[in-house]
Amino acid sequence: MVVLASVRQACSLTLGVLLASVGCATPYAYSFRLENQEARPAARPEQRDVAADADVRAEILVDPTGARAILLDLTNKTDQVLQVEWGQITMIRSDGSSTSPRPHVDLGWILPGATINARLVPFALPPAGDRAASYQGSRFELVIPMIVRREPKLYRYSFTVSVHSM
Amino acid sequence: MTAAQLAQHDSGPALVAYLSQSDASPTVCDLHALSPHVSKITPDIRAALVDGMMDGKINPVLWRRCVDILVERLPRQEAAPLFDDLVRAYRRNLADSDLERDPSHAQRLATLHRLYLERPAGLDGNLKVREAMSEEIRAALAKGQLGPVATHFGQELVATIEVENGRWQGHVVDAAMMDALAASGNEMTLTRFVERLPSAELREQAQRRILRVHIALSPFQEVRDGAAAVEETLIREGHNRIALKEHPLLSATLDASKTVIRDVLVRQHVWTRNATLLSYAASRSTLSVLPEVSFRGALWAKLQKISRPVSVCEHWKNLDPSPCIAAEDVSLDNPVAYRGSGGDFHFRDEVGVAEVVALAKNDKFVLPVKIGGRPAASLDWGLSYEKPEDLAFDGPSSGGVGPRLKVRVERPTATRFVFSVSAPQGTYTAVVEASNVHDFHVVSRGAPGLPGATGNKGSPGAAGAECSDGERGGDGGPGSDGERGGDGGEIVVDGTCASASCPDTVELLRTIILSVGGLGGPAGAGGAGGPGGPGGSSRSPSTHINSYGESVTDDPGCSSGSNGSAGAPGASGSPGRAGRPGKVTFRFVPTGGP
């Protein structure tokens, strides 16, 4: 389970000609739950969900309102370099549309046994209001192309979203 | 909107309408394409194209492909204003607060962002426009005025502009830096260098480092063993093409997960003797244009003396050292398919009647794939024909006999009929699915009879004299009878049928191939009765005063007369009789089959 950072700017001040009024929309936090069969959900909100196979371990925290990023730690469990196609990562929404977050700094391959920490940006969702609430129950899939033991592979991490009013 | 219709309209809104459809092909943006395309890039088209994507009408991936083609094909001086438009849209949208909360908005801006960062070296818009954007973004970043998403875009843009000046993260870019990046497998930075370094020599050096990374990761032993030669081949040719004479095809397969699957619908325009090809897919409810077909990563071939299956060569930008089959070595044996300049296959969406009939010979829309001229695999899409308009021919003039028709009926497949109808004005063809054939008709119809003439109007009644009534109007004349409709024309129907099914076939065709008499002309209406004459005028009394001073009436006067009554309307004529059906003769030859 991943609970996200607080939402600070859910209310906005609007000035009329003579009157001042405060318009507030309900702020929400998102939880992205990793649904892969082999996934190990985080024990605490600020921790990362974990998915691993014989070659790759991925620890993922999705933060669409605070950092507006996907925090991804990838560990190469093989004895060969592992290349991630960093420019080809996509986050696909249930309606079929997608975004292409990229590492906030340029990254290379992952040496055997090494871990690389990537912050994939941008990934932002509405922090408040009906548009935020509409994401309740929606599904996302993070697709990461990699070259593992010289073979191209697509790693797919599926999430279900819970939206909580704050 | 088909590509052909877009080419006719040739406008910004038409381009947006076309590109907003599922399966739209970006080749309409290729000013030199063999297929229909926009003829020029006017300021209006540029603006519509940029707004179309930023407004969410055009899918960003398709939009990027369209603009990439435009940029590649346009003369540089014509491509430059496009970048000015992009930069302006970028500045506008970077400041939009929706960017920080709407993933679709962020994706659209990311598309502009990547296009700008990855544009061909040396291609740019107006210097003032660029500098204004750059200064504005640097200032906003320095003041912390941008949200996290906008900050990411701004920082990457500023860092990449630094590469254009030959520097990266404060250091001059040189071979040692590139070697270090290659040693860490950092393709991301090396790719920036390939795209943005100021000198061609440095860009090639960066390209070579990426290639070395790719060669080191290649699953092909022969690539790793011949690294230096492969590197030179890729620098020279852009890909590692296999000579099929030396490595003949052994077998091939299509990867179903990467192959486009559609069903084709043929919409016939029987009177103009052509048709529009449309596609539908299980995943969507609406018809759209035919998709393009790419075999890159979808068609895999085993070749003699190559250690692993290979696919079609990638775009040179991908710097893929894998042995591959050149796009021009792959062909698609389908009369309406052709290979575009990028190596992908496209379909003509407007086809003539001969092709409509040729396609009907197969139950499926068959796409046999050949590699080096040898059959390799086949892609079979569904094929159906929308029910066409009836082939109905009328007599030439009022009451005229329907035209003589010669009809040829063929069954190219068990589920399809082809009707070829020879009439005096030419031959027309329609392909009809058996499931629709009961609702389709071939008709020779007599022309309707002329309508009967309307009867004469009655004459007006005479006006009454002073103090008397007007006379009655005359009665209207009778309408004449409508004329007889023309007879249906003679029809001779030829065809073949399997012996056992001949009676059923002929019985079915008798219900849909018809000679019909024209309708009789409508009866002429009776003439209207004439209006009654107006009543005569009144007369005032007249008096005089006699010698005794008394008033004496000389004339009592009279009141005005009444208007005469109108005449009766004439009787209507009779409607004309309908024409008679013509003779329909069926001359079917049993083929002897079941």
A161 found inside a domain: yes
- Percent of all residues in chain A with a pLDDT value above 70, rounded to a whole number: 86
pLDDT digit string, tens, across residues B377-396: 999 999 999 999 999 999 99
pLDDT digit string, tens, across residues B305-345: 999 999 999 888 889 999 999 999 999 999 999 998 788 89
* Residue B78 phi, psi (nearest 5): -90, -25
Q: Is the dihedral of CA A8, A14, A15, A19 positive or negative?
A: negative
Q: What CATH number has the domain bearing residue A135? A: 2.60.40
**Which residues, listed in sequence order, are joined to residue B368 by a DSSP beta bridge?**
B378
Task: Name the residue among B229, B156, B216, B159 with its Cα closest to residue B182.
Answer: B216
At A19 the pLDDT is 38
At B514 the pLDDT is 97
At A58 the pLDDT is 96
Please answer whether residues A153 and A147 qualify as being in contact, where contact means their C-beta atoms are separated by less than 8 angstroms.
yes
At A21 the pLDDT is 38
pLDDT digit string, tens, across residues B459-477: 999 999 988 999 999 999 9
Contact B217 A93 (CB under 8 A): no
* Residue A33 phi, psi (nearest 5): -105, 125
The partner residue sitting opposite B217, judged by closest CB among A87, A91, A150, is A150
Contact B213 A151 (CB under 8 A): no
Contact A98 B101 (CB under 8 A): no
Q: Average of pLDDT values for B362-372?
A: 95
- Percent of all residues in chain B with a pLDDT value above 90, rounded to a whole number: 74
Position B272 pLDDT exceeds 70: yes
The partner residue sitting opposite B100, judged by closest CB among A68, A107, A150, is A68
Sort out which chain B residues have CB atoms less than 8 A from A94's CB and list them.
none
Sort out which chain B residues have CB atoms less than 8 A from A151's CB and list them.
219
- Alpha-carbon distance of A6 to A9, in angstroms, equals 9
**Per-residue confidence band for A4, with pLDDT thresholds at 50, 70 and 90:** very low
A2 found inside a domain: no
**Per-residue confidence band for A10, with pLDDT thresholds at 50, 70 and 90:** very low
Picking from B104, B146, B152 by the largest number of A CB atoms within 10 A of its own CB, the best residue to mutate is B152
The partner residue sitting opposite A99, judged by closest CB among B103, B191, B218, is B103
B20-34, B260-274, B492-506: which is most confident: B260-274
Please compute Rg for chain B using Cα positions. Answer: 41
Contact B219 A87 (CB under 8 A): no
A160 found inside a domain: yes
Shortest CA distance from A7: residue in chain B: B101
**In chain A, which among 116-155 make CB contacts under 8 A with chain B?**
121-127, 131, 147, 150-151
- Alpha-carbon distance of A155 to A57, in angstroms, equals 11
Sort out which chain A residues have CB atoms less than 8 A from B102's CB and list them.
124, 126, 131
- Alpha-carbon distance of B319 to B198, in angstroms, equals 20
The set of residues, in sequence order, having a beta carbon less than 8 Å from that of B149 and lying 6+ positions away, is A68, A121, A122, A124, B99, B100, B106
Q: What is the mean pLDDT of chain B?
A: 92
At B237 the pLDDT is 92
- Alpha-carbon distance of B537 to B220, in angstroms, equals 119
Contact A81 B186 (CB under 8 A): no
Chain A closest CA to B38's CA: distance in Å?
Answer: 28
**In chain A, which among 40-69 make CB contacts under 8 A with chain B?**
64-65, 67-69
Contact B100 A124 (CB under 8 A): yes
The set of residues, in sequence order, having a beta carbon less than 8 Å from that of B478 and lying 6+ positions away, is B455, B526, B527, B570, B571, B572, B573
A50 found inside a domain: yes
At B593 the pLDDT is 55
- Alpha-carbon distance of B333 to B359, in angstroms, equals 12
A106 found inside a domain: yes
pLDDT digit string, tens, across residues B178-214: 999 999 999 999 999 999 999 999 999 999 999 999 9
Domain count, chain A: 1
* Residue A146 phi, psi (nearest 5): -135, 160
**Per-residue confidence band for A11, with pLDDT thresholds at 50, 70 and 90:** very low
Query: How many of the other CB atoms lie within 10 Å of CB of B310?
Result: 22
The set of residues, in sequence order, having a beta carbon less than 8 Å from that of B440 and lying 6+ positions away, is B387, B388, B390, B419, B430, B432, B512
Contact B217 A87 (CB under 8 A): no
Please compute Rg for chain A using Cα positions. Answer: 18
The domain of A34 spans: 28-165
A65 found inside a domain: yes
Position A8 pLDDT exceeds 80: no
Task: Name the residue among B506, B504, B502 with its Cα closest to residue B591.
Answer: B502
Picking from A4, A65, A68 by the largest number of B CB atoms within 10 A of its own CB, the best residue to mutate is A68
pLDDT digit string, tens, across residues B220-236: 999 999 999 999 999 99
SS (H, E, C) chain A: CCECCCCCCCEEEEECCCCEEEEECCEEEEEEEECCCCCECCCCCCCCEEEECCCEEEEEEEECCCCCEEEEEEEECCCCCEEECHHHCEEEECCCCEECCEECCCCCCECCCCEEEEEEECCCCCCEHHHHHCCCCCEEEEEEEEEECCEEEEEEEEEEEEEEEC
Shortest CA distance from B215: residue in chain A: A150
pLDDT digit string, tens, across residues B338-354: 998 788 899 998 999 99
The set of residues, in sequence order, having a beta carbon less than 8 Å from that of B338 and lying 6+ positions away, is B34, B35, B345, B346, B347, B348
Q: Average of pLDDT values for B74-80?
A: 85
pLDDT digit string, tens, across residues B118-140: 998 888 888 888 888 889 999 99
The partner residue sitting opposite B107, judged by closest CB among A67, A100, A147, is A100
Picking from B153, B188, B195, B300 by the largest number of A CB atoms within 10 A of its own CB, the best residue to mutate is B188
At B34 the pLDDT is 78
- Lowest mean pLDDT, pick from A94-108, B276-290, B564-578: B276-290
A158 found inside a domain: yes
Regarding beta strands B350-352 and B274-280, do their DSSP bridges make them parallel or antiparallel, or are they unpaired? antiparallel
Please answer whether residues B242 and B324 qualify as being in contact, where contact means their C-beta atoms are separated by less than 8 angstroms.
yes
CB-based contact, A92 to chain B, within 8 Å: no
Sort out which chain A residues have CB atoms less than 8 A from B192's CB and list them.
106
- Alpha-carbon distance of B587 to B518, in angstroms, equals 25
Sort out which chain B residues have CB atoms less than 8 A from A100's CB and list them.
107, 110
Q: Average of pLDDT values for B395-418?
A: 94
Amino acid at B45: I
Q: In what order do the strands lie in the sheet with A49-52?
A: A49-52, A56-63, A69-76, A115-121, A102-103
Task: Name the residue among A136, A118, A163, A144 with its Cα closest to residue A53.
Answer: A144
**Which residues, listed in sequence order, are joined to residue B432 by a DSSP beta bridge?**
B417
ipTM for the predicted complex comes to 0.84
Q: What is the mean pLDDT of chain A?
A: 84
At A22 the pLDDT is 41
CB-based contact, B184 to chain A, within 8 Å: yes
Chain B closest CA to A18's CA: distance in Å?
Answer: 26
At A23 the pLDDT is 53
Residue spans of beta strands (DSSP E) within B416-527: 416-423, 426-433, 442-445, 491-497, 513-516
Chain A closest CA to B179's CA: distance in Å?
Answer: 13
